[in-house]
Structure 1
Amino acid sequence: MSAAASMFVRQFFHGTRADLSPGELIVVGYQSNFTTAAPLSWVYFSGTLDAAIWGAELAAGDAPQRIYVVEPTGPFEDDPNLTDKKFPGNPTLSYRSKHPLRIVAEMTKWQGHSPERVQQMKDGLARLSAEGAEIID
């Protein structure tokens, strides 16, 4: 097997309602898609399409749901909001970085969750918020 045949590229995804284009950067300092807390000091992304779909479906607003293929421009770490609190071992491949994410492409064909499942997730998040839980650091 040649060296080229054994290499692969790891893909990362970001789900949102923001209308962005390939080449643009997702940077820190913007309001979260999910809370009214202070602007974020991290950008969040995932190595699974399913986690990105949840990001798009749960993002606030009425704009179209979007999923971008992104590449980190610097170091990143496991997202402690999920990996330490909900899913030890990081099976959702959820990450965060203080460095920008470069948009490589937009995924235009993907299958979302059922409306009932999305409502269940939103109800659960509303319950956590009512209890004072911080959903995103």
Structure 2
Amino acid sequence: MGNSITILDNGPFYHGTKADLKIGDFLTAGFRSNYHSDVIMNHVYFTSLVNGAGLAAEIVSGKGSPRVYIVEPTGSFEDDPNVTDKKFPGNPTKSYRSKEPLKIIGEITDWKRLTPEEYKMWQERLSNLKANPDAEIIN
């Protein structure tokens, strides 16, 4: 019974960004981290929680409007070790990562937006993370 595959989540899956993408485009690994710009990421990240993707879209660096895309993994994926068990027991954020591309299959425009106070708090948290050399990204 060798090659069994564990299904972590059936989706749907979402990716939050400020990039203006089209249906049929692919998200790929190999770009700089949004949280440590000196790190080139080996994975592309996604979640099955639309508001989690919305949060990422709002706090990610870059220009443009926050966007949440519905994505489809093209290969295997795993729990995101940057939040799973390292910061939260289990995977309550339903965060995943893959070395394989994610295909854009749609866009969501309705998610919980950050208040100005929440946005400021997240920006402070990100500044502290970037300033902390011990805040390692598991790549």
Structure 1 alignment gaps of length 5 or more: 1-8
Which stretches of structure 1, 4 residues or longer, exceed 6 Å deviation after superposition? none
In 2, Cα distance between equivalents of 1:56 and 1:41: 20
Superimposed CA distance per residue, residues 29-53 of structure 1 (whole angstroms, 9 cap, x where no aligned partner): 1222333123211000001012101
Aligned to 1:113: 114
CA displacement at 1:62 relative to structure 2: 2.2
Whether the 8 Å contact between 1:129 and 1:135 is mirrored in structure 2 is no
Whether the 8 Å contact between 1:76 and 1:98 is mirrored in structure 2 is yes
- The number of residues matched between the two structures is 129
CA displacement at 1:118 relative to structure 2: 1.6
SS of the aligned residue for 2:58 comes to helix
Aligned to 1:41: 42
Q: How does 1:44-63 map to 2 (within 5 A)?
A: 44-63=45-64
In 1, Cα distance between equivalents of 2:68 and 2:109: 8
Aligned to 2:3: none
SS of the aligned residue for 1:83 comes to coil
In 2, Cα distance between equivalents of 1:87 and 1:24: 32
Identity across the alignment (%): 47
Superimposed CA distance per residue, residues 82-125 of structure 1 (whole angstroms, 9 cap, x where no aligned partner): 11221111011000000000001011233311111121122112
Q: TM-score, normalised by structure 1?
A: 0.87
Aligned to 1:134: 136
Aligned to 1:20: 21
CA displacement at 1:136 relative to structure 2: 5.8
In 2, Cα distance between equivalents of 1:129 and 1:31: 13
Q: TM-score, normalised by structure 2?
A: 0.85
Aligned to 2:65: 64
RMSD over aligned Cα, in angstroms?
1.5
